[in-house]
Structure 1
């Protein structure tokens, strides 16, 4: 089996041989090419992941499970999955039977990562992906969390400009895999931040990969993270570079897109139907418009799992896949390349998601990597900061009001309500910023119910600075309406609110009308549109992120501590080993649905 990594090694050997004389023994690449000439097509395996987010250790709680149908009972079950030790084994086993294999990703490999990776600016994850055999990935929005220069450092190497190198004698070498950013350009020069595409050969046939991130990245990343950059339309960009590749004689093309969809079922191997009617979201429209020369589309961003076919502009079915998130799944895409014209034989494309089960043997090199960085992180990571009586679900809650969302918003209100801290009367938390659950079960030696700094960090990894702004009552009402209108009409973003606020959502209505204005109460009193209120939120929300321009219109800004600091302080002030925190009651947002009333 020939991998893309061994192809690069073979090319290096041939180049070196030119300096010292002719090499009589053919390389692995040459042998594969010679064998392929006897056939009209060659077989290629793509192994794909997306949205790994630095989850080197097995994710805890619901973030570490995959929903599937138990063949014995026919019922839906949650299966523990993920962890780089198991993912590495799964991919290595999948490659064994392949004629040729290339490993790809669709962005967010890093960013919003747990402490073991984030404490070291995600260098451990880059190192792990190199060991894993990743060849190429598009950039995701989270690759811009710390700005373009940090992304370039992850690609090119070098010690962190502030924190330096973490281990004596070790210098960060950068990623051996290729980051692609075709639609991300420097606003001054117009040049792509990173390479727009990567071309390699599979058994003598050229194949190109074009990588893009979502056009709306500036709406989901802090302004500092995307400063000086422009994000172009995904379809226009991919079609432009597909034409460029074809002009170079590259007719087999795969698109790696950090944008995704929403399948009708959360079961990992749900069948979307022959025309992809079982999946919705931005990727459907994008896929229908992409050049028919693109033979397969690998996607991400929404953290969902699907292996669907969606018609191209000519109505021909085309494979569109996503492997959930956190390394819990990988997608195996088997295809044939036509040697006569260099194209992907579209009917040959077969895609299937596979669960990364924790019953697999652990990859020893990944265990060693985790142990090395865990030892460095231990003094910070293992410090107890609070106690809980049971799981407090955030990411794992399917409700619009999440218990952990309530807890975080209460922490922010308490931390910023003193007059000298901003005088906040209400606090809001974006649901996408809650990256995990607070899990009762111990993940190390800390004991059940103990919240370590590492667990708290996994929930709130961005360390966004908190802000307090003045909004009028009318703006506060508008803010609540923006959860279900404007850019959030199709996919509502329901903010988590502190205990000082309550209101009702009627999901039978449409747009802004879903917020029942007469139901809004702040500390038990109706909102006065003309009055002024002090509102707390993290800097991402306060700048209008996630489609909330009402936040950006606020005045009299005061910057406070980080979201993580106020969260940790709240846990310490309100829990002890003898009196652990209980999950808050979900009684702030009343949701009325079609024929049902969900409290």
Structure 2
């Protein structure tokens, strides 16, 4: 097949330009040539077995960035194969959220197809992310070990006898009740023989905040320790076991500023920075995730003689990171490294703004036949569920700004309105939804006649959370909204239902950023009681909204996606709820 050669020819000059500064200025000692190892890395796949109908944005020839349609497991398989062809010594890894918050055809079947896809692609190590716990510990262990024991409401093994992941999950900082690890902390892979043998060690870790991002029932008995402490302890063990290079796979990350650029690192910020600043200087590479952001960074870290390489491949298999390590087999050390994010350009699609064509400046991969056939089996089986029309919309609704946005937009408005209507019998006056709970593609584009299918609404609400209505005073409600803007991530503006609105100013001190709240056109009374609906993820303190747990007179209702279906089916077509219910008063220079 000519694709890998074409790809290599296009990428070679770019890789040369992207090479990192050497970790050690001197070459290999004793006359031994360095051994080159390629690490092929992904993160935040989220069961995206089909093309996600999204783009990777790159610096454009004009003032606006260019869009490149990307993703889909069969195309990802070909992209990874092409990178492996460049590296006789290679290993393929993931930095977590391989499953959970997944596409319909994967989620419906408990993410068995996501694991099946990765078995076929040849994934070798996966660090556990927070979404691996979406269905609880027992189901996560089943994904690792295989079997058909039913641990959730959905029946497993509907299309195949599920054999489990052929790759290990790694979790150095996830401990069970007796202090033992839930999964192994580390893994190793060796290349070459004799004096030319080199070994790469891998440490997996999830973010310490996983406890606030998962339902308490799903992580009962588990603790998530300090990331750097657990990683550093594992580095010692790896080095004692003969690791020449150490690579951290961590489900925590950062974000950059400036124009979109998968190779960029401008203004890197986020929770990953204080972690890597505390890492053992013997760590050579950190493959990160969680934020759904792409970057290639060289980080100056205390105690290191050269920069630490930090990477992230965005989300949904739209990118794959090609990392090259040159290892001195005599000194047992990495002497230099290079990395670049490769766009998994796949099929064209039509977005709300119009058609998104292929970009000739980047390789276009062909879908790998075996993976495409496997995915098609699950997609075809899911169509009986996903193709059912559930209602009609008068226009497109979306969460603007994608994963980086703290606002719910018209998509959030619609979800909140649906949840308010579904819980009217519990006395609900206000419903609040969290923007980060709105998943890709975070957009509903009506089909012919305004039709919306179940598959579409399930994609944006894949968690099957229950609705809970509770009582709060106006003062308590304000305190809940303030938690969206405090220093305890994630940072987001809860989207309210119609009739309620609020304004905020991020230039004000934490705790006083919510400036005004109105309900039915009148200021919210701090002493009055209001009935407020949210999903059980929030009411149990998810996304760091711990004050939701203090609600009174709780009434548990139906499932979130069912509420959305009922709302859409009640009126044909349902109007787009376009009003701005969260008003940002922050001065432009403070945003």
TM-score band by shorter chain is 0.7 to 0.9
Change over 3 Å in CA distance of 1:179–1:103 after alignment to 2: same
Task: Show the counterpart of 1:503.
Answer: 502
The alpha carbon displacement at 1:265 in A equals 3.0
Rounded Cα–Cα distance in structure 1 between residues aligned with 2:578 and 2:240: 61
The alpha carbon displacement at 1:393 in A equals 1.0
Change over 3 Å in CA distance of 1:173–1:526 after alignment to 2: same
Change over 3 Å in CA distance of 1:441–1:336 after alignment to 2: same
Rounded Cα–Cα distance in structure 2 between residues aligned with 1:383 and 1:394: 23
Rounded Cα–Cα distance in structure 1 between residues aligned with 2:168 and 2:259: 31
Rounded Cα–Cα distance in structure 1 between residues aligned with 2:216 and 2:128: 17
Task: Show the counterpart of 2:492.
Answer: 493
Rounded Cα–Cα distance in structure 2 between residues aligned with 1:563 and 1:572: 14
The alpha carbon displacement at 1:560 in A equals 0.4
Q: What's the C-alpha RMSD, in Å, of the aligned pairs?
A: 2.0
Residue-by-residue CA offset, 1:333-383 (whole Å, 9 max, x unaligned): 0111110132222xx210111111013211111211121112221211111
Task: Show the counterpart of 1:457.
Answer: 458
Task: Show the counterpart of 1:182.
Answer: 172
The alpha carbon displacement at 1:484 in A equals 1.3
Rounded Cα–Cα distance in structure 1 between residues aligned with 2:327 and 2:589: 52
Task: Show the counterpart of 1:161.
Answer: 150
Residue-by-residue CA offset, 1:153-173 (whole Å, 9 max, x unaligned): 1010001415555457x3100
Change over 3 Å in CA distance of 1:96–1:292 after alignment to 2: same
Contact 1:114 1:458 in 2 (8 A): yes
Change over 3 Å in CA distance of 1:266–1:305 after alignment to 2: farther
The 5 Å alignment of 1:226-245 reads 226-245=219-238
Rounded Cα–Cα distance in structure 2 between residues aligned with 1:313 and 1:356: 35
SS of aligned partner of 1:487: coil
Rounded Cα–Cα distance in structure 2 between residues aligned with 1:225 and 1:344: 40
Count of equivalent residues? 536
The alpha carbon displacement at 1:505 in A equals 1.1
Change over 3 Å in CA distance of 1:583–1:266 after alignment to 2: farther
Q: Does 1:295 align with 2:277?
A: no
SS of aligned partner of 1:238: helix
Task: Show the counterpart of 1:374.
Answer: 379
Contact 2:327 2:334 in 1 (8 A): yes
Rounded Cα–Cα distance in structure 2 between residues aligned with 1:564 and 1:595: 36
TM-score for both structures, normalised by structure 1: 0.86
SS of aligned partner of 1:289: coil
Where has structure 1 moved over 6 Å in runs of 4 or more? none
Change over 3 Å in CA distance of 1:355–1:390 after alignment to 2: farther
Task: Show the counterpart of 2:390.
Answer: 385
SS of aligned partner of 2:541: coil
Task: Show the counterpart of 1:326.
Answer: 316
TM-score for both structures, normalised by structure 2: 0.87
Q: Which of 541, 553, 558 pairs up with 1:556?
A: 553
SS of aligned partner of 1:520: strand
Change over 3 Å in CA distance of 1:42–1:56 after alignment to 2: same
Contact 1:139 1:258 in 2 (8 A): yes
The 5 Å alignment of 1:33-432 reads 39-60=32-53, 64-70=54-60, 72-73=61-62, 75-161=64-150, 163-167=154-158, 170-187=160-177, 189-203=178-192, 204-265=197-258, 267-272=260-265, 278-315=267-304, 316-345=306-335, 348-358=336-346, 359-394=364-399, 396-397=401-402, 398=405, 400-418=407-425, 422-432=426-436
Give the gaps of 5 or more residues in structure 1: 1-36
Contact 1:438 1:456 in 2 (8 A): no
Residue-by-residue CA offset, 1:289-336 (whole Å, 9 max, x unaligned): 111111100000000000001122214311000000001111100111
Rounded Cα–Cα distance in structure 2 between residues aligned with 1:192 and 1:383: 43
Contact 1:81 1:355 in 2 (8 A): yes
The alpha carbon displacement at 1:549 in A equals 2.0
User: Which moved further from structure 2: 43-52 or 96-105?
Assistant: 96-105
SS of aligned partner of 1:413: helix
Rounded Cα–Cα distance in structure 1 between residues aligned with 2:526 and 2:330: 70
Change over 3 Å in CA distance of 1:244–1:437 after alignment to 2: closer
Contact 2:32 2:330 in 1 (8 A): no
Task: Show the counterpart of 1:18.
Answer: none
The alpha carbon displacement at 1:439 in A equals 4.5
Rounded Cα–Cα distance in structure 2 between residues aligned with 1:597 and 1:289: 29
Task: Show the counterpart of 1:3.
Answer: none
Task: Show the counterpart of 1:474.
Answer: 475
Contact 1:251 1:293 in 2 (8 A): no
Rounded Cα–Cα distance in structure 2 between residues aligned with 1:312 and 1:116: 42
Rounded Cα–Cα distance in structure 1 between residues aligned with 2:260 and 2:41: 18
